[in-house]
Amino acid sequence: PPRSTQSRSSAASDVYKRQVLVAGSETYWNYRHQADVCHAYQILIKNNFNPDNIIVLSKNDVAYSHNNHFQGQLFNKPSFDQVGENVNEGCKIDYEGVDVTPENFLSVLKGNVSGVTGGNGKVLRSTENDRVFINFVDHGAPGLIAFPQGYLYADDLLATLRYMYENSMYKELVFYLEACNSGSMFLELPTNWRIYATSAASPNESSYAYYCYPKQDLVQGLHIFQCLGDEYSINWMEATEQGNLDETLQEQFQTVKSKTNQSHVLQWGDLSISSQPIGNFLANNYQGSLNEQSRKSVSYTHLTLPTIYSVQISVVA
């Protein structure tokens, strides 16, 4: 399929950064997913990204739901009796409503303008000089992740990532995936495609919601009556906000893994990429105090899945 082009004002050797953020669920019951994605958007904007280089897919049916005490607003962490941060403010959504589909998501990743329907037609315009960051948040099951309209299967995601690799659509790609059984989407991810992924859960377990009723869903003294976020997502975003951009992806992984108590956070693909600072993917105009030569190299062998223990809790991701 045809891939759109974009004028680049700097030299071809410059590294550009592109982001794709997806909330795959719908209805107020899934408040947390759309709040997670808009929080991720706010982090990128605060780190000086151009909104034109961020693509967001979200049903966008929560902020103005009749169930929402705070019309037009979303909160990703409790503020108790304080005002709190409205992560929906300025969150620009490119595909919403019935346009949030697996087909549109895959066409966006391929840069296939003719393959998308609805929305504003925005697709990835990346080249071999670009770093790409993908964040997907929703429900999942073994071998699939959910959308409001249908499911995306692991084989189809892998085929799209193969297309991106074979068509030189990135220098390196980082994929953060929040869903139950999310590890099952990366079981066949090769280690030589320059893709580094982390999953909220192993292939055979759930991931879990966070900041939930009755004690932690409070905003301005009112109960939201839904979970405000997801454990893995909250942990990587709060680590990004509280940490320093020189922290490596591996260091962030260890932080998120240690703080995520209800599922096993795992990493997949080309794990050597994890030696890079998070600023290479989550901050624009990042220079960094570490360069490629001085940064400590990280060597990995095969991934061994941990033993999975049953966890009893009421709300899954």
Pick the catalytic residue from 33, 39, 139, 264: 139
Q: Which residues on adjacent β-strands are paired with residue 23?
A: 58, 137
Query: Alpha-carbon distance 283 to 249, whole Å?
Result: 13
**Cβ atoms 286, 258 nearer than 8 A:** no
Query: Alpha-carbon distance 249 to 277, whole Å?
Result: 6
Helix segments in the chain, DSSP class H? 31-46, 102-110, 154-166, 231-242, 249-259, 279-282
**Cβ atoms 287, 246 nearer than 8 A:** no
Q: What is the DSSP letter of 15?
A: P
**Mapping DSSP to helix (H, G, I), strand (E, B) and coil, where does residue 158 land?**
helix
The answer to whether residue 139 is catalytic is yes
CB atoms near residue 234 (< 10 Å) = 25
Maximum Cα–Cα distance across the chain = 54
Query: Alpha-carbon distance 171 to 145, whole Å?
Result: 26
**Cβ atoms 126, 169 nearer than 8 A:** yes
Pick the catalytic residue from 180, 212, 227, 264: 180
Residue in the structure block whose two tokens are 């893709």: 195
Nearest partner of 210 among 190, 228, 192, judged by Cα: 228
Query: Alpha-carbon distance 91 to 76, whole Å?
Result: 13
Query: Alpha-carbon distance 121 to 107, whole Å?
Result: 10
**Cβ atoms 177, 136 nearer than 8 A:** yes
Cα dihedral: 98, 103, 104, 107 (round 10): -170
Catalytic positions, written as ranges: 139, 180
